[in-house]
Chain A
Amino acid sequence: GAVVSQHPSWVICKSGTSVKIECRSLDFQATTMFWYRQFPKQSLMLMATSNEGSKATYEQGVEKDKFLINHASLTLSTLTVTSAHPEDSSFYICSATGGGRSNEQFFGPGTRLTVL
C-alpha cells in the first residue's frame, strides 16, 4: 500500500508555455502533499506544502505565482509551472502523507521537466 503516482514522468515544453504535473495517492487519502525540486546530484528542495482544500504554503524563495499548486481532493495535487523558462528545467517530485501513517512521506516517481 501507500503508492503515489505522478504524471507525466517526463515532459518537454517550449519556453513561455505552462505545464501541469499531477500527483496522485492511489490507495490512501493524502491529507498533506509536498512538492520538491531536485537538480542533478543534489538534494531535494522543498517547494511547498499543500493540505487538501487549503492554499499551499510555499517555502521562502519559491514564487507562488510561477508554481501554482492545487490540492483539490484527498488523492490529487497538481503543480503548474506557468510561463516556463529553461531555468525551470528540473526534476520535480511529490510526496504525500496521511491515511493513518502521518509519520511517513510516500514519494512519487518524479517528473523530469525540460524547457526549450
Chain B
Amino acid sequence: AQTVTQSQPEMSVQEAETVTLSCTYDTSESDYYLFWYKQPPSRQMILVIRQEAYKQQNATENRFSVNFQKAAKSFSLKISDSQLGDAAMYFCAYRSTIIKLSFGAGTTVTVRA
C-alpha cells in the first residue's frame, strides 16, 4: 500500500506571506497522480492542485504551486500571498492507476492577520 507522509501537523503564516507544506510518498509505480486538497472549517474537500507524475513541469494554480521531485518522492505545496481564506486543513493525496486515493495525515494552516 502506498503511504503519504505529511510531517507538519500545523503551520502558521502571516497574511500576505508565503508558506510551504511538505509531503512525501512511497510508491513503486511510475505512473501516478498527486493532489493537494483543502478542507476548510465547512469540511468540504476542495481540490487545490494536481500533478501528473509524467509531467516534469510543476503545476501552478494562481497563488498555489507545487515542487514535485519525483526521484525524491516529494510533493510540497507553496501558498504565496497568504489570505485569511487559506486557513484550513490541507491534505496531500496519492493516486496510482488504481483510482483509490491515499491521504496524508494533514497539515492545519493558520493565517495571522
Interface set of A (CB-CB < 8 Å, partner B) = 32, 34, 38, 41-44, 46, 49, 91, 93, 95, 97, 102-105, 107, 109-110
Contact = CB atoms under 8 A, between A and B. Distances in A.
27 contacts: A32-B99, A34-B100, A38-B43, A41-B89, A42-B105, A42-B106, A43-B91, A43-B103, A43-B105, A44-B45, A44-B101, A44-B103, A46-B100, A49-B99, A49-B100, A91-B43, A93-B43, A97-B99, A102-B99, A103-B33, A103-B95, A104-B50, A105-B101, A107-B44, A109-B42, A109-B44, A110-B44
Interface of B: 33, 42-47, 50, 89, 91, 95, 99-101, 103-106, 108
Top 8 A-B pairs, shortest CB-CB distance: A107-B45, A43-B103, A109-B44, A110-B43, A43-B105, A44-B103, A43-B106, A97-B99
A42 B50 CA distance: 22
A35 to B, nearest CB: 12
A15 to B, nearest CB: 24
A46 B99 contact: no
A104 B34 CA distance: 10
Contacts of B47: 104
A38 to B, nearest CB: 8
Given A32-B99, A34-B101, A105-B99, 11 more contacts: A38-B43, A44-B91, A46-B101, A95-B45, A102-B99, A104-B47, A104-B50, A107-B44, A109-B42, A109-B44, A110-B44
A43 B104 contact: yes
A78 B101 CA distance: 20
A102 B104 CA distance: 21
B22 to A, nearest CB: 15
B82 to A, nearest CB: 21
Contacts of A103: 33, 50, 95
Contacts of B33: 103
Nearest to B101: A105
B16 to A, nearest CB: 27
Nearest to B46: A107
